[in-house]
Amino acid sequence: MASAANTNLNAVRETMDVLLEISRLLNTGLDMESLSICVRLCEQGINPEALSAVIKELRKASETLKASENCTN
Amino acid sequence: MATLDQKSPNVLLQSLCCRITGKSEAEVAHQFQYAVRVIGSNYAPTIERDEFLVSEKIKKECNRVRHTHSHTFFSFFSYKVLDSNTSIIIKHVGNYGALFAQALPRDAHSTPFYCTRPQSLALGYGERSAALSASVGTSGISSLGVYTLNGPTATPQSLLAGQPPQSAAGGGQPLGSRLAWALPVSCSPSSALAPLATRPALGPPVPSSRVVRPRRDGEVSEAALVRDILYVFQGIDGKFIKMSAQDNCYKIDSKVVLCKSLRDTSSRLAELGWLHNKVRKYTDARSLDRAFGLVGQSFCASLHQELKEYYRLLSVLHSQLQVEDEQGVIVCSESTLTLRRLLVWMYDPKSRLKTLAALVDFCQGRKGGELASAVHSYGKTGDPQMRALVQHILSLVSHPILNFLYRWIYDGELEDTYHEFFVASDPNVKTDRLWHDKYSLRKSMIPSFITMDQARKVLLIGKSINFLHQVCHDRTPPGKITPASKSADTPKDAAELLSDLEGAFQEKIDAAYFDTSKYLLDVLNRNYLLLEHLQAMRRYLLLGQGDFIRHLMDLLKPELVRPATTLYQHNLTGILETAVRATNAQYDNAEILKRLDVRLLEVSPGDTGWDVFSLDYHVDGPIATVFTRECMGHYLRVFNFLWRAKRMEYTLTDIWKGQMCNAKLLKTMPELSGVLHQCHILASEMVHFIHQMQYYITFEVLECSWDELWNRVQQAQDLDHIIAAHDMFLDSVISRCLLDNNSRSLLTQLRAIFDQIIEFQSAQDSLYRSALEELALRLQFEEKKQQREDEGQWGVTAEQVAEEKKRIQEFQDTIPKMRSQLRILTHFYQSIVQQFLVLLMTSTDESLRFLSFRLDFNEHYRAREPRLRASLGTNWGRRPSNI
């Protein structure tokens, strides 16, 4: 039982690794944790396209925020 | 990670926002709300179900941004993804792909310059980007390894050290194998070799599937050869392998530096190109040939099909090659193209192409049924694949032939523009010779899977149908004659038929044959009274109707003794009519009687009517097929012969009659008794002779042959049988009646005998005339004497008596002349008969030999003729040498 769980875990880990590499190749800028969150959200039925739009929007917002911060600094 | 599983979407979303923006939870509220709004609004996901399409799309994008190395890795990882067994991945990879695909156009610049990453990860990314610029391939993998084992936080120091910790045994193994996959063997990303060499301790020893051989300078690599070979497979000259025309083979340029094994292998592979060229040349040449015919075209089509399959295989190989080109890195050892692999894969196609090329060679210059025979002969092989291939081609090729066949036997139509079918039709022949001449068998075009017997039957069936349509004007639809059966509409039917040639095909042909022939014979007998006409021929032309012939002869006798030039046809026809009406012939079918006619032969000088008279029987329409012009000619000759013989009989009857009548009268003239006796003897000899001849002709020749003919005709199954039986009948009659070329000497003898009989008749007539005259005069003298005595005068005066005596003396002086004449006649006659007998005895026909027995039953002639004394046994089987 433990080994089964172990192998399962390994498989999952492997999968995540692959996905991470794919995302890295595609320059998505997602790190492991963000990617795993995205995976969970997609599994739970969230529209991936919407999700990606959200992420882009968030990035843009944070960018502008940073820029404004730098300017004020 | 496990804790994330239970979190609700909202929570997850919030944490995502935190991560991305790098702010705490309180600050991202505004963004979070926005996110929720966006996600909530968008309901219809455009999910690409096909991960391949997604990966292709992504690849294209990578190409677009010239991120050459990264997309090879993407392919690599796509493989990994697809190979893995995790179903979740396969289900959702489309989603992820969509995610990535959306993300991609925006983030189209390469990683190193993307600086707005969250700070916590910047180090990791920065390190990574540094490593990337050095060598792309391996660093990614090692970073992957890092992430596997150490979690999301980067530990840059472990990047280069690279010894995978032993914590996850499973992790180590895939790492090693991944490294193995990353091992570049092809020329292009050769730079990756170098960094690998700097990591000697990386992972377990690489299970390389390839031996990287040390290469010589300028040597052609295997991959280049493979590329060349793929061109050669299609018949195009490659860079190194070219077609050499004088050797008619593909040769590798001798300038090229190539190791021997590769050279050999590529030569073996180049054979395929040669075979392909051969087949292609044939099909191209034939497609231009307009007169090639349907069979040839179907052959070319089947060859094309095979070539299409071959091209398909080549395109698969090509795409394989392209895949390798794009990756730059060999991914899986199972799918690379090497010459060895090609050898193995192309083995089956090679044998197929070999068969095709052999077929092409064998079928050069053939068309039509010959082509089908050629293909069929190739089907007799033990190799099941070759046999299947040849059978397939054969079914396609024979399909047009079978179509022709079915149209021919069910409709009687022949549309054969290219002369491929084995039934040939001669368009110049008119309808009267339709049966005999119009249709013939083209023996060269009979396919070898159709026997000669079947071919003949097929010819006969179609001929019968055409005969019915054109000559008998009977256009009953073939459905009535033969039950309609489906023709070979598809090549599959043809294939089925070919597999069962003995059974189904033969049955079809037999059924059609029986039905059509039976129908034809029915039509002929019912509508055209063929059998009645046959019997009529026998009765009239072969003198079967005795009373009619006798009466006719009686009526014609006074006419025919006149010279031939004075005869008129209408007179004779009138006499014929009279004869018909007066005898049993009047009860015959009107159809027959109206065909009966008189014909006057050509007149030569000195001919009497006897020589030129002949009966005639008109034939037309379908009957003329059986009673052709030659047949009618034969009939007329036989009639002539029989008529002459009959005339002799008639003459002798007259002679005998005369003899009987006058014997009594001339009893008072004893000096005539010797002459008369001679006459009688000769006459009886002649009678006996003619009697025997007549018996021979009537019974041995005519009746026997007729019986045989009648039996055959009753049992005949088709018109050809009837025609053959009839011809045989006529032949036998002619040869037995001594009318053919072999018996010419016999015939002349017989004619001579007949002439003698006629001479004898005239001699006897003159004898009787003078005798009767003499008798009459004597009677007159006696009467006068009696009368004078009654009147009281002297009965006879002296001078009257003297006168009478003188006259009688004169008369008696003529008697020896007569006697000698008769003697000469007798002698001549007997010598002719002896010669005739000798010829008969040495003839090859048995019945003629027996005739000689009957003619000489009491050896009367044998006594006179020493040659006849030789026993029959010594002459048995001996060729008639000089006798």
Is the whole-model pTM more than 0.80? no
Count of pairs with CB atoms under 8 A, one residue in A, one in B: 189
Most A-contacting residue of B102, B115, B136, B141 (CB-CB within 10 A), to test interface = B102
List helix spans (H) across B185-338.
Answer: 193-197, 222-233, 260-288, 293-327
Distance, in Å, from the CA atom of B150 to the CA atom of B656, rounded to the nearest integer, reads 149
Give the ipTM of the model, two decimals please: 0.73
B31–A61: do the CB atoms touch at under 8 Å? yes
Distance, in Å, from the CA atom of B733 to the CA atom of B702, rounded to the nearest integer, reads 7
Q: How many residues does chain B have?
A: 883
Distance, in Å, from the CA atom of B412 to the CA atom of B370, rounded to the nearest integer, reads 23
Give the burial class of B110: count Cβ atoms within 10 A of its Cβ; 0-12 exposed, 13-18 middle, 19 or more buried. middle
Whether the Cβ atoms of residue B763 and residue B821 lie closer than 8 Å to each other: yes
Of B846, B852, B854, nearest to B870 (Cα)?
B852
* Residue extents of the structural domains in chain A: 1-71
Of B16, B640, B243, nearest to A48 (Cα)?
B16
Of B847, B648, B638, B820, nearest to B733 (Cα)?
B638
Residue B112 has pLDDT above 70, yes or no: no
Distance, in Å, from the CA atom of B480 to the CA atom of B161, rounded to the nearest integer, reads 96
Say what the pLDDT of residue B376 is: 87
Of A13, A43, A61, the CB nearest to B148: A13
User: Mean pLDDT, to the nearest integer, of B36-41?
Assistant: 74
Higher pLDDT residue, B876 or B449?
B449
Per the structure block, which two tokens stand in for B150? Answer: 């150490």
Report which secondary-structure segment, H or E, holds B241.
strand B241-244
Of B16, B95, B147, the CB nearest to A32: B147
Q: What are phi and psi of B43, to 5 degrees?
A: -100, -35
Which chain A positions have a beta carbon within 8 Å of B85's beta carbon? 11
Question: How far is C-alpha B121 from the chain's CA centre?
Answer: 85
- Give, in degrees to the nearest 5, the angle at Cα B409 between B406 and B412: 110
B121–A42: do the CB atoms touch at under 8 Å? no
Confidence tier at B726 by pLDDT (50, 70, 90): very high
Distance, in Å, from the CA atom of B756 to the CA atom of B651, rounded to the nearest integer, reads 12
Q: Assign B16 to helix, strand or coil.
A: helix
Most B-contacting residue of A7, A47, A57 (CB-CB within 10 A), to test interface = A47
Highest mean pLDDT among B495-509, B548-562, B658-672: B548-562
Report which secondary-structure segment, H or E, holds B451.
none
Output helix, strand, coil percentages for chain A, rounded to the nearest 5: 85, 0, 15
Which chain B positions have a beta carbon within 8 Å of A67's beta carbon? none
Q: Which residues of B824-855 are buried (b: 16+ CB within 10 A; e: fewer)?
A: ebbeebbebbbbbbbbbbbbebeebbebbeeb
B9–A32: do the CB atoms touch at under 8 Å? no
Residue B7 has pLDDT above 70, yes or no: no
pLDDT, tens digit, for every residue of B352-382?
888 888 888 888 888 888 888 888 888 888 8
Q: Are strands B423-425 and B596-600 parallel, antiparallel or unpaired?
A: unpaired
Token look-up 């590329």 returns: B227
Min mean pLDDT across A9-18, B752-761, B864-873 is at: B864-873
pLDDT, tens digit, for every residue of B765-799?
888 888 888 888 888 888 888 888 888 877 677 88
- Beta-carbon contacts of residue B608 (< 8 Å; ≥ 6 apart): B560, B561, B562, B563, B564
Beta bridge mates, B608: B563
B9–A65: do the CB atoms touch at under 8 Å? no
Distance, in Å, from the CA atom of B381 to the CA atom of B355, rounded to the nearest integer, reads 11
List helix spans (H) across B162-292.
Answer: 169-181, 193-197, 222-233, 260-288
